[in-house]
Amino acid sequence: MELHFFFLESNFNGNCIKRSLGMGSIFTIFLLFSFGWSNLSWSQQELKKASLFQDDKLLDVRLSYSFKEVKSRKSDEEGKSGFLHYRENGQAWDSIPVVARGRGNFRREQCFFTPLKVHMKKKEVKGTLFEGNKTLKVVLPCQNARDANDFLVKEYICYKLYEPLSPYHFNSRLINLNLTDEGSKQQKGYDIRAIFIEDDGLVADRFGGKLHKGREMNPMRLQDTASVVHDFFQYFIGNTDWSAAVQHNVTIMQLPNAAYIPLCYDFDMTGMVNAQYATVSEKLNINSVRQRLYRGFCRDESLFQYVRAYYLERETLVWEAFDQAAVHLNPKEIPAMKQYIKEFFDVLKSDKKFKDEMYSRCRGA
């Protein structure tokens, strides 16, 4: 009896077609499909990457505003006008006018530092490092604590780990932020790490797409391969605090060919970060954020096997991305993160673990 494999390729709409192939051609066609999906998209996004995100070197930034004022104002209210001061590689300081607004729900209510969105005008940033950006998310540590920067850097590492796995990601840059609370009596200052995250509209622009306006989305309408690549990543970093259906920590982008693509963000509740304040929903059958739980919806098994092979093929790139980003992390935190990454790839390398812990756990199974 001749041995056959199932192969998945994308049709025009980005959906999957099952093909039966003989052993002789499977490897070649697998590579064609793999690199056809990834490399074209990677080159496209690299060409359009804004100057701010073309360098991974730490950027020095200064911001001043009233913590109380930013925290109390709603996201749709007028923000706080001021200047964002920055410098690269120890050069002279420069500045741009910005408007800062608080964002988020949990962190705004529970954290000492309120996450920000900074808005800037096109004409004000032309010719500067920030050219091409209209809005930036600023991810801050949650608490003013000794280990707060470690959690922040771990979250940054999560963003960097996704880059070699999917072209459909948010660009990010780690910064040294000097933050001054203008509302305090002594104008108290804080030296912390923070992350600039590009606006989701810029991600859509890179691919000639647009953001999905509706709040809800049937997850089965998402492009098959991109969806499973995304779902594997959420499992990889131990994230259960997301939902494509209601766009919770996931933004949906529609490509010119009408395919819907998930864009993930906000990784502070993940097992990879393991923040002290991180919790899991009581509805889930896990006791800790360090416990992984696959939350993706079921797809054809052949697609799961394809994405499994795709991740394993890119394992070396994932480790390289980790090593590059981890230079900013407290060395004491590195062994635990490495072990957590290794445990994920151990699951992929074991047929039994992969079936028991991922494929059989998909929603709808």
What pLDDT sits at residue 41?
56
Strand 59-65, strand 16-22: pairing = unpaired
What pLDDT sits at residue 214?
85
Q: Which of 295, 294, 342 lies closest to 315 in space, CA to CA? A: 342
Residue with tokens 């989701």: 200
Structure tokens at 35: 């690199």
Alpha carbon 330 to chain centroid, angstroms: 21
Work out the angle between the directed axes of helices 301-313 and 315-325 (0-180°, nearest 10).
Answer: 50
Query: Do 291 and 269 meet the contact criterion of CB atoms below 8 Å apart?
Result: no
What pLDDT sits at residue 245?
96
Alpha carbon 287 to chain centroid, angstroms: 24
What pLDDT sits at residue 86?
98
d(CA 60, CA 24): 54
| Longest CA pairwise span in the chain (Å) | 82
Query: Do 180 and 188 meet the contact criterion of CB atoms below 8 Å apart?
Result: yes
Locate the domains of the chain by residue range: 54-203, 208-361
pLDDT digits (tens, 9 = 90+) for 337-351: 999 999 999 999 999
Q: Which of 132, 141, 71, 68 lies closest to 96 in space, CA to CA? A: 132
Q: List, for the chain, all residue ranges whose pLDDT scores fall below the cut of 50.
A: 1-29, 31-36, 38-40
Structure tokens at 216: 């809800």
